[in-house]
Amino acid sequence: MAKNMKEKMLKTFTEVFGDAEGVKLYFAPGRVNLIGEHTDYNGGHVFPCALTIGTYGAVRKRNDNKLRFYSMNFDKLGVIESSLEDLKPCKEAGWTNYPKGVMWAFGEKGMKVPCGMDFMLNGNIPNGSGLSSSASVEVLTGFVLRDLFGFEVSNQELALIGQFSENQFNGVNCGIMDQFAIAMGKAEHAIFLDTADLSYEYAPVRLAGAKIVIACSNKKRGLGDSKYNERRSECEEALRELQKVMDIKALGDLDEETFEANCNAIADEVRVRRARHAVYENRRTIKAVEALKRNDIELFGKLMNQSHVSLRDDYEVTGIELDTLVEEAWKVDGVIGSRMTGAGFGGCTVSMVKDAAIDNFIEQVGKAYKEKIGYEADFYVVEIGDGPVVL
């Protein structure tokens, strides 16, 4: 981490909280999912990686039960005060519901947080971009609690606690992928994770002569109130209908042929399409990882493109902003593959772009996007990084 970020954090902490005596600094990454979208709650595979951008934290213990939160990203909100007696979600608490949710979840798991904290964050993940700023804050908080109070939890358990807090405290029915990718990140590798049983392997991502470019649509969306929970229940209903005619635990158990042979058990055509996406996307993810292992980047890119088409047509979670970014990316020479990533309805696309084409890609896609959508997209050339660390 650049020394100046450390200095900046300590300087701000001193300005906000009076001094920086006894402060510790932390970092947890953001994540991007390369392929395998909306499969994580359908018992399928995902293929995310941690990024070198993420959330920085400066934290110190207090000798009372007070919680004082400050975010450099929302500095206008000033210090938001709470206490360990008041670990309940509320709208007024804003972003602090994420760290408070994790503190609550630790307590639920028998690890009561013993004292209050001064807790300052500074994220360099674009907010509302779909690169998992909330999961990054959750994993960072869990990592801080483990470090400060010596709780016996593995990184994998930190991921599960983060997901539990988001589901139960923040009311977002998210799968495990985001927190897992962040807690278990490994530089230059993506994580091939089977969400059905949390078995995983690291697969090296060797992009000789190419980089991952993230395009942020700058369309804001709230996960909890997007159609995320609706899609999830459509898939659950389709699974129940299929279970009447076959013995499966999840849509991820099916291959394409078996699905097509049995999909007439699903009564509603919309649910057929939702389930088809879950089944085909899971198989695409398995094929994509095999392609990477053979160093077949071209096939990986084709599978990314097919993933976007399925998310657009069968799952219907893309929208004009993401479709414009992807369809314009496909026109640029040197783009290996491009797709929306994250929950959809705004957020980001992820593209693999040859080094020589990156400048042209950003210029061409950016110009077309602004002409069509009316405001600008932001572009980030990213590296694959490690999981959470003490700085």
What pLDDT does residue 227 have?
80
Res 127: pLDDT: 64
What are the C-alpha distances in Å from 138 to residues 151, 168, 202, 215, 345? Answer: 16, 13, 22, 24, 23
Q: What is the pLDDT of residue 128?
A: 61
Among residues 40, 118, 178, 194, which one is catalytic? 178
Cα(44)–Cα(374) distance, rounded to whole angstroms?
Answer: 37
Q: Is 390 exposed, middle or buried (0-12, 13-18, 19+ CB in 10 A)?
A: exposed
Distance between CA atoms of 344 and 42, rounded to whole angstroms? 16
Q: Which architecture does CATH list for 3-205? A: 2-Layer Sandwich (3.30)
Q: For residue 44, what pLDDT is reported?
A: 94
pLDDT for position 224 = 44
User: Which pLDDT score is estimated for 92?
Assistant: 87
Rounded distance, CA 204 to CA 214, Å? 19
Q: What is the pTM of this model?
A: 0.88
Predicted local confidence at residue 347, as pLDDT: 86
pLDDT at 129: 63
Written as one letter, the residue type at 307 is S
pLDDT at 130: 64
Using a CB cutoff of 8 Å and minimum separation of 24, what contacts does 198-207 make? 198/156, 203/47, 203/289, 203/292, 203/293, 204/292, 205/34, 205/49, 205/292, 205/384, 206/292, 206/295, 207/297, 207/352
| Kind plus residue range of the DSSP H or E element containing 309 | helix 297-313
**What is the model's pLDDT at position 42?**
94
Check residue 30 and give its pLDDT. Answer: 93
Structural domain boundaries of the chain? 3-205
User: In the chain, which stretches have pLDDT less than 70?
Assistant: 1-2, 127-130, 132, 220-226
Rounded Cα gap, residues 220 and 229, in angstroms: 18
Strands (E), 297-358: 335-341, 348-354
- 197 carries an active-site annotation: no
**113, 84 contact by CB (below 8 A):** yes
